A and B are shown apart, each in its own frame.
Chain A
Amino acid sequence: MSRVLLLAKKEVLQLLRDKRMLPLLFIAPIIQLIMFGYVVQTEVKHIGVIVADSDRSVESQIIADKLTNAGYFEIIKRVDGEQKVAACIRSGEATIGLIIPKGFQDNIKSGQTAELMLVVDGSDATTGMQAQQYALGVIAARSQEIVSQRLDSMKAITAKVSSVEPRIRVWYNPDLKSVNYMVPGLIGMILTLIITILTSMAIVKERERGTLEQLIVTPIERWELILGKILPFIVIAFVEIALILGVGVFWFKVPFRGNIFLLLALCIAFLFTIVGLGLLASTMSRTQHQAQMTAWFLNMPAVMLSGFIFPIENMPKVIQLVTYVVPLRYFLVIVRGIFLKGVGLEALWEQVLMLSILGLLIFSISIFRFQKRFAD
């Protein structure tokens, strides 16, 4: 065991030889946390609107006011003709154009259907789609208002009309704060990105420099070598977990409803899978450059296909099958469940089981390959 510690000490010394390593290890997660915490708003705000109002009436003014009051839109320009709308959207100044034709108010007053036109810039589909939904919602609400005003005028007859009332309640994250969703996920993401890259390069470094031979001729056992190599990264990982948890809970005020010990225990299970992935990348590489690119190759799907940002439910069936071998997928459900829902093993056992199986599999394959390469 003392040999393991010696090896781990050597690894740490080597790791910290570049003075930038230590700050990088701890600044990197903080920067990521802050970026994700503040940037990832799934709600789109300040959408630029250009209003072409040919009616210039009270009704057209109400619609424009309701758009701005909803908080999503900013009216950039008010113009007369429709022509200017096109130019404004083409240059990207405005995302949507609202065109209110002449006679808009007269149509409403006379009980007819008044038309108006929305032009949406679809080239940025996220903003475009949300802008369209918001705008249609605002207009529908105004429409509904007019209907109920009309119904009010014949109140006497409509006293007893059956209707259905939706009672909608949002659980776990009632304010729908994105940061509550992102921060727990970030624990998994940051660990995946940093630990796989570092582990994969650590072993190849010895091979590249020719010092692996020296290690082989020492009386060290193989399991000791592997353990000594990965031990520093496990420690680093736990410090980072503590850091993210601290900033998340105290700075971003993310509610932590579950059991912290359960979370830490499952973090260990997750760490084994990603350290295993790093080892696997290192057994497939001869140079650090290769190891880094291979780790990157394994990492991108881990981010994109884990459900961290892009929902798995919407992926095509074939790709959904691929996501089953992405360890982060299970860990995300676990960490979000413990954080936001406060659930325990009774709800998460399937995820835990899958994660453990996958971790064991990845770890044994990498050890097996490592042994083989070691023997060469």
Chain B
Amino acid sequence: MKNIKPIMKKEFIHILRDPRTLAITLFLPLFQLIMFGYALSFDINHIPAAVYDSDRTAASRTLADNFSSSGYFDIQIRSSKMDFVQKLDAGEIKVAIIIPKGFEKKLLVGDKAKVQVLVDGSDPNFARVGVGYSSMIINRFSSKVMSESLYKKGIVIKQGIPPINPNSRVWYNPELRSVNYIVPGLIALIMMTVTTINISVALVREKERGTLENIIISPVRSWELVIGKIIPYVIIAFLEAVLITAIGTLWFNVPMNGSLLLLFFSLIIYLAGTLSIGLLISAATESQQVASLSSFLVSFLPAFLLSGFVFPIKSMPIVLQLITYLVPARYFLVIIRGIFLKGVGIDVLWPSLLALIVFGAFMMLAASLRLRRSLA
């Protein structure tokens, strides 16, 4: 036990001796949170689109206006040049709405008028929303035309329209603000990557420089080395995490409905786990380049893809769903979103917390065992 303190001290000196890296580790998360907190959102409401109006009548203009006033599209009205193929090809517009000649005439005589909508499907997310909104706008326009045309014939539909009226209520995040769920997720993602990558070179650096021999001949045990190396990083990472949590609540106004104490407690366990992964990598590799690449591979990718940060776990193939159980960010995400947005406590979150504890303990053990092998 007494060996832990000098190791901690040495590691602290190492960290403080390189103020630039310290500054990067401290401020990188801050910068990332602010930048991405603003930048990342899934609300699609500026779809670049163009209306090609060959009819140029009152009716076609009304339809075009419906598109531009809907708020979902950034519309350019182009009446002369039919250059939609080039524009779609170059990616300047994602939706082209083409109103043919004779549009109004058909409506006046009680016919079916057609409107063509071309959607760039290369980004399926955009395309789906674009298809949904444009069919909604045209259908709405159509039902107005229909009821006007029925009215002219003297028919007024009295029965309840619509027959079913859904009242939709959203809980926990009523305006469905992306930032409310992006920011807690970002905290989990940023902390995971920054800690794993930062510590991954801690041991391998000593191997490259040949200073590991000094440790080998000293009476330090591997688990003491693991704990002594990790604690300074836990302290630094914890400070960062507190900082970005504060930014999330004070700057981005993400509601904090639950217990701060529980959040910090789970955070420390999460960080100890992610740092142990980094240390395990460091013990298992021979060069800093390999350590750095592999830590990226096991931290950023799973935390980004398999944690439920943006991609719902339930939609993944079953094999990948099983793999997500090995990703600590998955559990931490449940905890941090639960505490932030739902305000739930330990009574709901205990399974995730337990999983984090088991994961952390296991990783620490694995790191010490692997380290014992390198030291031998």
Contacts and interface: CB of A to CB of B under 8 A. Distances in A.
B90 A348 contact: yes
A17 B315 CA distance: 41
Q: Summarize A's interface: helix, strand, loop or mixed.
A: helix
B358 interface: no
Given A17-B286, A161-B149, A314-B43, A122 B172 contact: yes
Nearest to A104: B164
A10 to B, nearest CB: 15
A315 interface: yes
Nearest to B111: A162
Contacts of B110: 160-162
A140 B162 contact: yes
Contacts of A154: 155
A103 interface: no
A172 B297 contact: no
A220 B140 CA distance: 73
B132 A125 contact: no
B89 A341 contact: yes
Interface string A148-175: 0010001001101111111111111111
Interface residues of A, number: 126
A371 interface: no
Interface string A277-311: 00000000001111011101100110011000111
A42 B312 CA distance: 9
Contacts of B180: 122-123, 125
A190 B171 CA distance: 38
B57 interface: no
Contacts of A176: 121, 124, 127-128
Contacts of A31: 297, 301
Interface string A332-348: 01001100110100011
A143 B116 CA distance: 25
B188 to A, nearest CB: 13
A150 B163 CA distance: 10
B251 interface: no
Given A40-B305, A296-B28, A319-B38, A142 B164 contact: yes
Interface in B119-156: 119-128, 131-132, 134-135, 138-139, 141-142, 145-146, 149-150, 153, 155
A165 B146 CA distance: 11
A164 B120 contact: no
A288 B289 CA distance: 8
A219 interface: no
Contact of A128 (B146, B176, B197): B176
